[in-house]
Amino acid sequence: MRSYVWHPYTQMKEWPDFDVIVKGRGMWLEDSKGNLLLDGVASMWCNVWGHSKDELVKTMILQAQRLQHSSLFNLTNDKAEELAAKLVRLAPNMHKVFYSDDGSTAMEISAKMALQYWYNNGQKRRTKFVTLEGGYHGDTIGAMSLGYVSSFFSQYKSALFSAIRVPSPNRYRVPSGFTFEEFQDYCLERIEKIFVQNDNIAAFVMESGAQIAGGVTIYPHGFQKKISTLCKKYDVLFILDEIATGFGRLGSMIEYQNQESIPDIVSFGKMLTAGYLPLAVTLASKKVYDSFLGQYQEMKHFFHGHTFTGNPLACAIAITNLSLYKKYNIIARIKKNSFQLQRRVDEISKLNIVGDTRHKGMLMGIELVSNKVKKLPIHPEKNIQRRIFNEAKKHKIYLRTLGNIVMIVPPLAISSEELDFLVDGTIDAIKNVAARL
C-alpha cells in the first residue's frame, strides 16, 4: 500500500516504509503483521495508563453519545467547566484556565498572555523574553522563538523573534574553569544581571523540573526556586512549561510545587488526557487574569482562540484521567518505579558508548558518545537514531532517540516486570549497536 503520510522529524528518503500500528492494549502496541512492541516512549511521552484503558474508553464513548463539540465562543460546556475547576484546585496560585489543543499552542498562549499583561498595564515596552539555552517549548513560530534548539530550528531563524538566552546547568557538560556549583551560581548571576540592566523584560520562560527535548537536563536542587525568587524580586512574569514534566513524569503531580517555585503562568498538556485525545491548558494567576478585565471598548480582553478550545470530549477524558490518578495512587507507583530505574543507572553508564545517564521519576536520558573521555557525540553519518530504533525493535520495544540521547519515557503505570523488560532491551540494543559502530 502506497503511503501519503509525511512523518514528523523524519528523513523520509531513509524510510521506504513504516510499521503500521493497528491496536494497542496495556503497554503494548500491535502492528498489522501481529508483532508486539512495548511502548517505551509512551506514544511521544503522553500515555499514562497504557492503551485501551477501560475507564477512559467508556468515558469517550459516553461523551461522544452526549456532546462531541461545542464552542467556547460566547458559550461554555459542563466538561470544560468541571475540568477547569479541578485544575485550579490542583495547581497552587492559579486562578483561570485557558484551553488549547497541544503543548506548542499552550506556550504560544503563555507568551501572548505575558505580552498583553504588560500592554494592558500600560507598560508596552515590556516585550522581551528571557529563556534557558537548551530549552524546548514546541514547534510553532512563537514556541520555537522561546525554546530555540539550533539543530532543530536554524532554518527558521529568520522568522523567529529574538529572546535573551542564559546557560542551563548541565552536570555532564560544565564549562572548563567551573565546578558544577559555581556554574549554577554563574547562570543565576547572569539572569539577575539581565533583569537589572533591562527594563523591557516581559517574562522568564523555562521548562519545569527538567529540559527534555533539548537534551534531558535535570535541574539541580533549588535552581528553579531561585529563578522564581529573582522574577518576583524584579517584577518579571515567571512562565513555566509543564507540558511534558507535569502530572507525574518527574515523580510529582505538579512539578513546580515540588520545585518550590510559583509561576504567574503555567502550561500543561501531554498526560492531561492520558494520551487519548489532544488537549492542553494554560493556567494564569489572578494578577495576570485581572489585567485583562475592563470595558469592551478598552480592548483588554485576550485575543486568542481555537476551533476546538475546551472540546468536551477531550475534557471528559481528562476528568476521568485525573480521577484515576487518585483511584490508583499513581504517584506512589511512579516513585517505586523510579527507584527501580535508578538502580539500573550504573549498569547503563558502564556501556562502551554511554557517556552519561540522567534520570528522574519516569524519565531517563542516555547520552551516547564516540569517546567517553572527550565526551564527543557520535557523528550524524552513523545515523544512531535509526540504528537504535531498528535494534530495539528486535527486542520488541519501541524507542526513539533525540539525536545521541536514547530516551526511556514509558507510560507512567507500567508494571515492574515490563519496566525491567524495557531497560533490559534498551541495554541490549545499545550493546549491539556499539559492537557494529
**How is the chain split into domains, by residue range?**
58-327, 330-436
Q: At 41, is the secondary structure helix, strand, or coil?
A: coil
Q: What is the pLDDT of residues 338-359, one digit of tens each?
A: 999 999 999 999 999 999 999 9
Q: What is the pLDDT of residues 120-130, one digit of tens each?
A: 999 999 999 99
Residue 437: its pLDDT value, please?
Answer: 86
Amino acid at 226: K
Taking the C-alpha atoms of residue 291 and residue 300, their distance in angstroms, rounded to an integer, is 8
Q: What is the pLDDT of residues 59-109, one digit of tens each?
A: 999 999 999 999 999 999 999 999 999 999 999 999 999 999 999 999 999
Taking residues 234-260, report their average pLDDT. Answer: 98
Buried b (16+ CB within 10 A) or exposed e, 153-170: beeeeeeeeebebbebbb
Q: What is the pTM of this model?
A: 0.97
List beta partners, residue 97: 283
| DSSP string across 261-313 | ---SEEEE-GGGGTTSS--EEEEE-HHHHHTT-S-GGGT-S-----TTTT-HH
Q: What is the pLDDT of residues 147-158, one digit of tens each?
A: 998 889 999 999
Q: What is the CATH number of domain 330-436?
A: 3.90.1150.10
Taking the C-alpha atoms of residue 331 and residue 336, their distance in angstroms, rounded to an integer, is 9
- Which value, in Å, is the radius of gyration of the alpha carbons in the chain? 22
Residue 34: its pLDDT value, please?
Answer: 97
Amino acid at 113: M
Residue 32: its pLDDT value, please?
Answer: 96
In a 13 Å sphere around the CA of 380, the CA atoms on its Cβ side amount to 4
Of residues 103, 129, 105, the one with CA closest to residue 115: 129
pLDDT band at 2 (very low <50, low <70, confident <90, very high): confident
Of residues 412, 113, 415, 153, the one with CA closest to residue 284: 113
C-alpha distances out from residue 78 to 57, 67, 85, 202, 257, Å: 19, 10, 11, 34, 28
Q: What is the pLDDT of residues 194-212, one digit of tens each?
A: 999 999 999 999 999 999 9
Residue at grid coordinates 492542553: 280
Q: Helix 416-436 and helix 330-342: axis angle, to 10°?
A: 40
The CATH architecture one would assign to domain 58-327 is 3-Layer(aba) Sandwich (3.40)
Q: What is the pLDDT of residues 369-412, one digit of tens each?
A: 999 999 999 999 999 999 999 999 999 999 999 989 999 999 99
Q: What is the pLDDT of residues 366-375, one digit of tens each?
A: 999 999 999 9
Q: What is the distance of C-alpha 253 from the center of its chain? A: 14
